[in-house]
Amino acid sequence: MPLPKRRFSRSRRDKRRTQLNLKVPGLSLCPQCGASVLSHQICPSCGQYRGRQVVPVKVEGKKKG
């Protein structure tokens, strides 16, 4: 396995590592239910996107038992 001839300076190493940071996802509020939703995604709680019902949402009822 090849090895570097010289050690990388802290400055060069850190310049390379600046790209490794994590990005915060862009969250917005759903206009229908007010839940936090990723931008350009279907709302997981109400199933709506841009004012239209896209995914049917299961209604949790009381279990018989």
Tokens of 63: 């279990």
Q: Specify the pTM.
A: 0.53
Instruction: Look at residue 13 and tell me if it is in a domain.
Output: no
Instruction: Look at residue 15 and tell me if it is in a domain.
Output: no
For 8-53, write each residue's pLDDT tens digit. 999 999 999 998 888 888 899 998 899 999 999 999 889 999 888 8
26 Cβ contact partners less than 8 Å away, ≥ 6 residues apart: 38, 39
Beta carbons of 55 and 45 less than 8 angstroms apart:
no
SS3 36: strand
Q: How many domains does the structure of the chain reveal?
A: 1
Tokens of 36: 């936090």
CA dist 25 and 36 (Å) reads 11
Domain range for 45: 26-55
